[in-house]
Structure 1
Amino acid sequence: MKAPQAFYDFTLQFHQDLDLVYPDWASDAPTARHEIYQSFRRQYGDQAVHDLNAFCEKLLSDARADLESFWFKESKADWVISNDGIRLLLKDFQTWAASL
């Protein structure tokens, strides 16, 4: 499955902003990553949010998908997140996008 440009943009920004700009990004707080998502929206626009949200839906529709391998291969981030971590991140993004 080919990832849209929004996925590459999001993963690059997510990786760059994590510890420097948003040190509490891994918190269990329900809004811990919302500033990252909002920053992505400001930089890339509503269409990128829509495109990424639709792509998340495709990725998450297969409960057995190897998201860790996909992330490592397709992401612009240079570190790996576990399958469960990626699934939680994408679901969290979808929840935020649905609130717009």
Structure 2
Amino acid sequence: MSDRPDIAGTTGDEGCLRWVMAVPLALLHAIAAWFVYTALTIRPSGSWDDEAQAGINLSCVLAIATSGFALLITLLPSIRRAMGPWWLVPPILLGAIAAIRWVVGG
């Protein structure tokens, strides 16, 4: 074990952290993608179909919340350093799609 902080735990810890964090982040991305999918596939029968509109709104809110949670985890300095910047793309993209669908509505 090294007393120098620049050498201690550089490769082994990052590789382990990558695997440990990749699984929950991938699950959060999959959950957010499912909510985005449901928000995009629900079609109201007409302007009177409040239940379908409520389902779209709920799916969008849940997708934004899940993407936001994944984004917060990814923004932690130790996670971002180990995982890389491309892990920021899925929650931003899914959150943006859900926000656009929420604003556009049915």
> Which TM-score tier does this pair reach, normalised by the shorter chain?
0.3 to 0.5
Q: TM-score scaled to structure 1, two decimals?
A: 0.36
Query: Of the two, which has the highest radius of gyration?
Result: 2
